[in-house]
Amino acid sequence: MKTHEPVYYGEYLNLNKLLDCQHPKSKDHGNEAHDETLFILVHQVYELWFKQILHELKSIVTLFSGKTVDEKDLSKVVARLERITKIQALLVDQLGVMETMTPMDFLEFRDLLVPASGFQSVQFREVEVLMGLKTNNRKAVDREYFLGRLNDEDKARIIEIEKSPSLLELTQAWLERIPFTKIEGFNFWDEYEKEIDKMLDYDEKIIHQNQASLDSRAMAMQIENLNATRETFSSLLNEQKHNDLIKLGRRSLSRTATMNALFILLYREEPILHLPYKFLTALMDIDELFTTWRYRHALMAQRMLGTKIGTGGSSGHHYLKMAAENNRVYNDLFNLSTFLLPSSKLPKLPNEVKIKLGYHFNE
Ligand code: HEM
């Protein structure tokens, strides 16, 4: 290895710069509020972690942008997504440090910050966009705040990033490419539908068998629930119904992608599907942790502000609580559980497919 100049800890980490970035506004105004330093530092630490999350996400998007995704790359992607989840756990936990500041201590400097707000965290927006929350995927109530509080330069940066494919879009394309469900003389989805019909017919039989113990209203309700379940299944199996739900904003992944994701979940124990299963699980973990952070942050905002509006002009706690509900990126993956079957009821796969799904070594 080539020799190099001795490295000095503080220089390597650029600490002079890093530790000279905390300037409380209250100090400038001649009456320093003790807790403002904590407020600044906590936000800065978040931004540093957002930087690391973006570093991981960008590399994942690059690995997923080719025509195919190599198996080795997929394990790298899963490892990086899992790293993001570890960081997110810290991000949730860190709110507890912020909450050691009391609402009255916050009032000592809060008004000096208006109209700055978390709405202006460009890196947070970048993470959202890279994951798949672009302007068009957002609810109308969110759109105004999404880019509306950014300066022109930051807005232009986000609009530019919106032009490239997000992880949600790339995941969809990858799922659509997954083979295995259709080969000559075998269509997995016909077999799946038969199993579902059997299951639902059996449920209907049970309802009729229990007729004696049910009054007519209870009976009608059970049949109605069963028909709703039939409708849910047909909304997946029928292309038109699935596309209608996409138009209504109730599903986001294409039908082929959704069905292939379901296939991965159903047959996740097959060796070739194990890593894809871990990938989908990691996406759900990230979505869940983001949502957890949003709820936790909304609660903190209530604790600090009560029902007051935010410095960015939203309704504060109320808005943030709604945003947690409205900004789920991989909701479709969570909803796949609706369509699962017990392993014992899974359609048998033809040998030709089984061989493709396993690892077979020849002497
Ligand atoms: C005293 C502590 C905090 C309070 C009271 C608070 C309050 C709020 C409020 C009310 C909003 C809604 C926008 C507005 O009207 O201003 C908001 C948005 C936001 N805050 Fe905080 N916040 C706090 C700390 C933090 C911290 C430590 C972070 C970490 C980066 C953060 C990140 C964000 C982000 C990213 C948004 C935009 C969320 C979205 O658009 O869905 N906040 N915050």
Show the domains of the chain with their CATH numbers.
30-357 (1.20.58.480)
Question: Is residue 252 classed exposed, middle or buried when 0-12, 13-18 and 19+ CB atoms within 10 A define those classes?
Answer: buried
Which residue CA neighbors atom 22 of ligand 1 most closely?
A: 301
313 lines ligand 1 (CB under 6 A): yes
Which residue CA neighbors atom 32 of ligand 1 most closely?
A: 118
Tokens 């798949």 sit on residue: 132
pLDDT of residue 147: 85
User: What are residue 62's DSSP bridge partners?
Assistant: none
pLDDT of residue 357: 83
**C-alpha–C-alpha distance, residues 302 and 295, integer Å:** 11
pLDDT of residue 215: 83
Strand, coil or helix: 187: strand
* Torsion, CA 74, CA 334, CA 187, CA 172, rounded to 10: -50
> ω before 115 within 30° of 0 (cis)?
yes
Residue 244 is encoded by which pair of tokens?
A: 């209608």
Ligand 1 pocket test target in 320, 322, 326 with most atoms within 8 Å of CB:
320
147 lines ligand 1 (CB under 6 A): no
Question: Is residue 166 classed exposed, middle or buried when 0-12, 13-18 and 19+ CB atoms within 10 A define those classes?
Answer: buried
DSSP state, 269?
A: T
Which residue CA neighbors atom 16 of ligand 1 most closely?
A: 312
Residues 6+ apart with CB under 8 A from 165: 61, 65, 173
Residues 6+ apart with CB under 8 A from 350: 183, 185, 186
Summary count for the chain: helices (H), strands (E): 18, 2
Tell me the torsion sign for CA atoms 138, 144, 149, 155: positive
User: What are residue 183's DSSP bridge partners?
Assistant: 186
The CA 31 to ligand 1 mean position distance, Å, reads: 24
Task: Kindly give the confidence (pLDDT) of every residue in the chain, 363 residues in length, as a single tens digit, with 9 standing for 90 and above.
Answer: 778 999 999 999 999 999 999 999 999 999 999 999 999 999 999 999 999 999 999 999 999 998 888 888 999 999 999 999 999 999 999 999 999 999 999 999 999 999 999 999 999 999 999 999 998 888 877 777 888 889 999 999 999 999 999 999 999 999 999 887 777 777 889 999 999 999 999 999 998 888 778 788 888 889 999 999 999 999 999 999 999 999 998 999 999 999 999 999 999 998 899 999 999 999 999 999 999 999 999 999 999 999 999 988 889 999 999 999 999 999 999 999 999 988 888 888 888 888 888 765 554
**C-alpha–C-alpha distance, residues 144 and 101, integer Å:** 30
Ligand 1 pocket test target in 117, 291, 319 with most atoms within 8 Å of CB:
117
Tokens 């100090």 sit on residue: 27
pLDDT of residue 359: 66
Q: Which atom of ligand 1 is nearest to the CA of 50?
A: 30
User: What are residue 186's DSSP bridge partners?
Assistant: 183
109 lines ligand 1 (CB under 6 A): no
- Report the 10 Å Cβ neighbour count for 88: 19
Residue 299 is encoded by which pair of tokens?
A: 């609660």
132 lines ligand 1 (CB under 6 A): no
Q: What letter represents residue 38's amino acid?
A: L
pLDDT of residue 352: 81
124 lines ligand 1 (CB under 6 A): yes
Strand, coil or helix: 186: strand
pLDDT of residue 363: 47
Q: Which atom of ligand 1 is nearest to the CA of 47?
A: 30
pLDDT of residue 361: 57
Residue 226 is encoded by which pair of tokens?
A: 């069963």
110 lines ligand 1 (CB under 6 A): no
Ligand 1 pocket test target in 52, 133, 142, 297 with most atoms within 8 Å of CB:
297
